[in-house]
């Protein structure tokens, strides 16, 4: 998993990005390319964090609406507060 601030300086770069494991630096790691060939299509990795959820909110109706992010976060947080 890559943090957006780590990848941001590479935005638009056409040269490959190699991701290595800090605990196993001898391993070749993963190579991220702009237009590479697909691999066999097998699942290569899974990330799991207990008691975490990912919510994606998108749509043209959100553009320029003040407080939309605050309302979305409040709605997600409300059940968590109630169960404590």
Q: Using one digit for the tens of pLDDT, what is the confidence trace for 16-42?
A: 888 888 899 899 888 887 777 766 666
Global pTM value? 0.40
Alpha-carbon span 33 to 17, nearest angstrom: 7
- Higher pLDDT pick, 26 / 13: 26
- Range(s) of the domain holding residue 10: 4-37+49-82
Report how many domains make up the chain: 1
Residue 43 lies in a domain: no
Residue 54 lies in a domain: yes
Look up tokens 């060939």; give the residue. Answer: 37
Residue 14 lies in a domain: yes
Residue 44 lies in a domain: no
């Amino acid at each position: 998993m890559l943090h957006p601030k780590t990848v941001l300086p590479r935005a638009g770069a056409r040269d490959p990005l190699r991701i290595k494991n800090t605990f196993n630096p001898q391993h070749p790691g993963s190579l991220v390319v702009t237009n590479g060939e697909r691999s066999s299509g097998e699942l290569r990795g899974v990330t799991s964090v207990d008691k975490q959820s990912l919510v994606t909110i998108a749509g043209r109706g959100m553009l320029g609406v003040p407080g939309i992010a605050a309302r979305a976060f409040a709605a997600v947080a409300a059940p968590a507060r109630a169960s404590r």
